[in-house]
Amino acid sequence: MIDFQTQPSRYRHWRLQFEGPVALLLLDVDERGGLEAGYELKLNSYDLGVDIELYDAAQRLRFEHPEVRAVILASAKERVFCAGANIRMLAQSDPAFKVNFCKYTNETRLAIEDASEHSGQRWLAVINGSCAGGGYELALATDYILMADDGSTSVSLPEVSLLAVLPGTGGLTRLVDKRRVRRDTADVFCTAEEGARGARAMQWGLVDELAARSKLMETALQRAREFADRSDRPTEARGVALTPLGRVIADNRLEYQSLTVDIDRDRRIATFLLRGPEADPPRDTRALAAQGADFWPLKLARELEDAILHLRFNESSVATWLFRAEGDPERVAGYDRFLAANGHDWLAREVTLFLKRTLKRLDVTSRSLFALVEPGSCFAGTLFDLALACDRIYMLCGGGDNGGCAPARIGLSDFNFGALAMGNGLSRLQTRFWGDRERVERARDAALGRLIEASEAFELGLVTFAPDDIDWEDEVRLALEERAAFSPDALTGLEASLRFAGPETLETKIFARLSCWQNWIFQRPNAVGEKGALRLYGTGRRAEFDGRRV
């Protein structure tokens, strides 16, 4: 089982140091510390275990160190920054693992960019030697790249020339969309095994600054402090410790404090039951800080993220995820109002951004996602945005009884109108009603700050179906059985294509190209066949390619 929970005392590949408002995150990969047997992590190459630690460090820098305003990403090894994803690891991994590995590393790099854009925590990469493939893609995720000007340090994306695949974590897209490298220059760079050094790397826009090796870290600290001076992160606030999750993993269940996931492997269904808050929101930001990791939205985001990642990697045959939620929808909306009213507070901001990133993980998860809204549900505000991330929403019409159980209701909060935006830059309501601003405004007028029942929600287009209690069980059962009868590959393509209406962004391009190009190329014989480049890499034998364009 792959476990995504770790902490700095358990890191094998990264070291954290602090110099006032600047943190140094040093890559020092343990060659024998691979997640699986069969390969060594030479030259600071990485596998999933290295990236799990990187993501954990990025999260802790945001929540536990509000005083950190700039992060220097560097290598602790001489003459090498990072050789990228470990080739032996990729060669021995099955296609599903490679897909999820690339997806996770993409999400980690996007989280770094999110910290720079929204949290006032700017990242700089310091390249002190060979920086190839995924290593350069990691540097591309930072705001500023400083490279040693010593005649030997280089950056490269050699996947096409060496491995017959593509950079898998957004390298091509970041070259032309983020760094604005000319397409012809990028073409030359991406087909040159040796990459680019010094003046050429600067001329082509591949790095931001050159420095003598003897002045490299001194220059990096100077630039980091300049970034830190422009940050709005607090200097005196106390961080929030991301304490270990209260999690129990059983054969057919994941149990957390605010979430339970039941797994039915025969039907290939996982049912998520999210539990709403048991208490009202804190009075003020001081009380928020006192709650720390027990603050309900933060706790739920951490637990939901862990469950998503666990199921992606450890339960690949579970094809459909059902989402239920129980609790008081008014109280859920109250937490949204609290976070929105205190958006000036660094911790409230970080919690909101974390909720946004967690829901984005659902958007790019290759599973069928259905939400079931029933009496006793609390799909309001943030939790209704989770429902909107699903491919279908079923809402029971009626169903209340004389025992005091109210009919199913949903509600909107301000968070449904931009704070939890998708990778396309739009809210999920804007994406749902793409190009129809009037429908979005009608939903706002009808359901913002109030709870509505199924017939009204269906008329507004906020749910997919609203069967009554007579048809409910049959409607849901038939939908799930139908889903199980379709090709998983076709469903993955269908869902990924339909979830992102609206404009393209760097983020949507990265994931679309990951799904459509990289995953396909990684399975072609030219890459992974008996005479493929990925299979023969390092053996001294040349790959033999089928020359037909497909």
Local confidence pLDDT in tens for the 550 residues of the chain = 999 999 999 999 999 999 999 999 999 999 999 999 999 999 999 999 999 999 999 999 999 999 999 999 999 999 999 999 999 998 888 888 988 999 999 999 999 999 999 999 999 999 999 999 999 999 999 999 999 999 999 999 999 998 888 888 889 999 999 999 999 999 999 999 999 999 999 999 999 999 999 999 999 999 999 999 999 999 999 999 999 999 999 999 999 999 999 999 999 999 999 999 999 999 999 999 999 999 999 999 999 999 999 999 999 999 999 999 999 999 999 999 999 999 999 999 999 999 999 999 999 999 999 999 999 999 999 999 999 999 999 999 987 654 556 899 999 999 999 999 999 999 999 999 999 999 999 999 999 999 999 999 999 999 999 999 999 999 999 999 999 999 998 998 899 899 999 999 999 998 887 766 767 787 888 888 899 888 888 888 999 988 888 7
The type of residue at 142 is T
**What percent of the chain is helix, strand and coil (3-state, nearest 5)?**
45, 15, 40
DSSP annotation of 177: I
Q: What is the pLDDT of residue 405?
A: 67
Q: Which of 379, 274, 298 has the alpha carbon at shortest distance from 332?
A: 379
Q: What is the pLDDT of residue 95?
A: 83
Q: What is the pLDDT of residue 514?
A: 74
Q: What is the pLDDT of residue 111?
A: 97
Burial degree of 219 (CB within 10 A; 0-12, 13-18, 19+): middle
- Bridge partners (DSSP) listed for residue 373: 395
In whole angstroms, give the CA distance from residue 281 to residue 288.
Answer: 8
Task: Name the pairing type of β-strands 269-275 and 320-326.
Answer: parallel
DSSP annotation of 245: P
Element spanning 372, H or E: strand 368-373
Q: What is the pLDDT of residue 404?
A: 57
pTM score, whole prediction: 0.95
In whole angstroms, give the CA distance from residue 65 to residue 171.
Answer: 29
Mind listing the domains of the chain with CATH numbers? 8-229 (3.90.226.10), 248-498 (3.90.226.10)
Tokens of 299: 């706790």
Tokens of 489: 């590959």
DSSP annotation of 405: P
Q: What is the pLDDT of residue 465?
A: 97
In whole angstroms, give the CA distance from residue 41 to residue 158.
Answer: 18
Q: What is the pLDDT of residue 400?
A: 60
Q: What is the pLDDT of residue 251?
A: 93
Tokens of 296: 């309900």
